[in-house]
Structure 1
C-alpha cells in the first residue's frame, strides 16, 4: 500500500449534469488536501468540461465526447485508454454500470470505491452505503471517503466549491454588459427564468410577476441568461413582456465557463434551481432558487443561509 505523501494517481468519475459535477468539487479538494502530491483526474462529459479546466483542485480533466457516449465500442476504447495510466485510487461517484467499467479495466488499482447498489459493484474494493439526512456534498464526503479514513489515512475534508475567473475575463464581461445597456448603478439580477430540464421550470407567468416586482420595487436590471439552444425561447419571453428596458435577453454565455465572469458581475441570482445556482454559490453570489417537486432542498441546497436560500414545494 502507498503512503499519504506519495505521488499518487487518483481518478474521480462524475459525468452527468453540471450541478452534480460542481457538488463533487469538495471531494476533489479533500483528496488534494489529504494526498498533497497526488494527481487528481476528473472524468466529465465534454459539454461541462470547460468549467473545470485549470481549476486548482483538479490536475487533468478527462472528457467523454458525445460520440463516445452513444457508441459502446468508442466508449470502451476511451475507458481502456484512460485506465492505462494505472490509478492508485478510483472513486466512482456515478456508480452506474457504465461508469464502473473504469474499475473493471483497473483491477490492479489498490483502492476502488463506489456507492452500494444491489447486485452491482463487483469490481469495487469498497461498496459504501449512503448516509441519511445529509446534503449531497456531505453524502459524497462521508460515503466515498470513509474507506480512506478506515485504511488509516489522515483524512482532510473541505466543503469548498469555489469558482474563479481572471480579472481580464471579469472585466471583459463587465464591458460586454455595459455595451448591452446594463446600468451598474442599479441592482443587477441574474435571472434563471428557463431551464434545459422541463420539470425544473417554474411557471413562466408566475416568474414574470417576480420580474415585474423586482423592476417596480427596486428598479432592478434583470438579465435573462441562457445557453445557445435557449436563445429563441428566452427572447420570446422578453418580447411577451413588452421588451421592457430593464430586462436583458441579449447577453450571451456561449459556454458554461462564461457563466463564472458573468455571475461575478451580478448582485444577485434568482430563478430555477440548477447548475447555474450552484455556480452562483460557488462565486459567492447571494441567491434565491426555486426548487421543483422532485429535488430535495435539503440535498441540493448545501449550507443554506440568508445569503443562499431556496424555496421548495
Structure 2
C-alpha cells in the first residue's frame, strides 16, 4: 500500500499534521507513507521511522504553476492508494486530481470545492484540539471498518551524531550541562505573537534568580540581531548564551534535544520541543487559544493565555498589548516551577529538600 499526505504550512502545523502519518504507519506497518511539504520545512522530517519519503516543494515550484503541476504529476505517478490533502486548497487539490486510481482521496469540506475528493471531511468542532482535528481526516477509513491506530502524540527524532555535533558546539560557547538548560523563545515569526520584550527580559532574570540554570537564546540568521540586543540589554549576563546560530530547522531540533525545558512564545519551536518531548511552557498571544494548540491530556506541555487572567467585558475593553501584559513574569515563573517537577536535573538538585 502507498499513502500520500499533503501539507503546505509552516513548522508548527507540519509537526501537528504528522500525527496522520504516524497513525497511518501504526495502522499499516508495511505501507509506504510519503509526506509533501514546503522545502524549508521538509528537512525536519528526514529520518523519521513513520515516513518513507519526504517530498519537498521548492519556492520556484510554488511560484511557477507549470513547474508545480509537473511536480505534482511526477509525484502522483507512484499510484498512491490513499491521498490525504490536509491543506485542501485549489493548489493542493491537484494531488487528488492526478491520483485517479486512489481508493481514498480525502480533503476538508469547503463550499464549491473538493470535486476531486472521494471523501470531504467537515471542520471538526472546537471540542477537539488541532492534533485531534487532523486525525478526523482518517474517519473514512474508520467508517469502512479499518482498525485505525489513532495516535495524537506527534514525535520527531534526531540522529545521535546530530545531537552530538550540537552538543560540541554548545560546549565551545560555555554551555554547562550540569545546569538546567532553558531554551527561551523570545521571538516569533509573527510579530503579534511576541510577548512584550521588557516583560520577557524580566522573566529571563527571574528564571536565572530562581533556578540553577542557563538560558539559551536560539535564533535563525535573520533573528540574530534581535537576540543579541536582548542579551546586551541584560548586561551580557554570562548565564545567558547567545552564540549558537542554528542554521537549519534540524539544527534547532538537535539543539533542543540537548536542553531540559522549553519556555517562551508559542510557535513552531514550541511544537518542536513537544515533538522531542522536553517539558514546555508557552505564552499564548491575545486571540490565540491554547486549547487549540496544546494536547489536552498531556501535562508535560502547557501554557497560558491572557483570557485566563481576566475575562468578560473588562477584558474585551483592553488593547492588544494590555491583554498581553496581563500575563506577568511572576505568573509565568510560578507555572514554570510546576513544570520543573518534570525535569530530571531539577529533581536531582532538589532531592531531600
TM class by shorter chain equals over 0.9
Partner of residue 153, structure 1: 146
Partner of residue 267, structure 2: 274
Q: In 1, are the aligned partners of 2:47 and 2:158 still within 8 Å (CA)?
A: no
- Give runs of aligned pairs for residues 1-313 of structure 1, distance below 5 A: 8-132=1-125, 133-141=127-135, 143-303=136-296, 305-313=298-306
Q: In 1, are the aligned partners of 2:47 and 2:157 still within 8 Å (CA)?
A: no
Report deviation, 1:172.
2.2
TM-score (norm 2): 0.83
**How many residue pairs align between the two structures?**
305
Report deviation, 1:12.
0.1
Q: Provide Cα deviations, 1:11-68, integer angstroms capped at 9, x if missing partner.
A: 1001211111101122101111222221101000000111101111110000000111
Structure 2 residue ranges without an equivalent (≥5): 307-353
Q: In 2, are the aligned partners of 1:90 and 1:112 still within 8 Å (CA)?
A: yes
Partner of residue 332, structure 2: none
TM-score (norm 1): 0.94
Stretch moving more, 90-99 or 100-109: 100-109
Report deviation, 1:291.
1.1
Report deviation, 1:171.
2.2
Partner of residue 314, structure 2: none
Q: Equivalents in 1 of 2:162, 2:19: separation in Å?
A: 24
Structure 1 residue ranges without an equivalent (≥5): 1-7
DSSP-derived class of the 1:123 partner: coil
Q: Which structure features the higher share of helix residues? A: 2
Report deviation, 1:305.
4.5
Q: Equivalents in 2 of 1:245, 1:145: separation in Å?
A: 50
Moved >3 Å (runs of 4+): 303-306
Report deviation, 1:219.
4.2
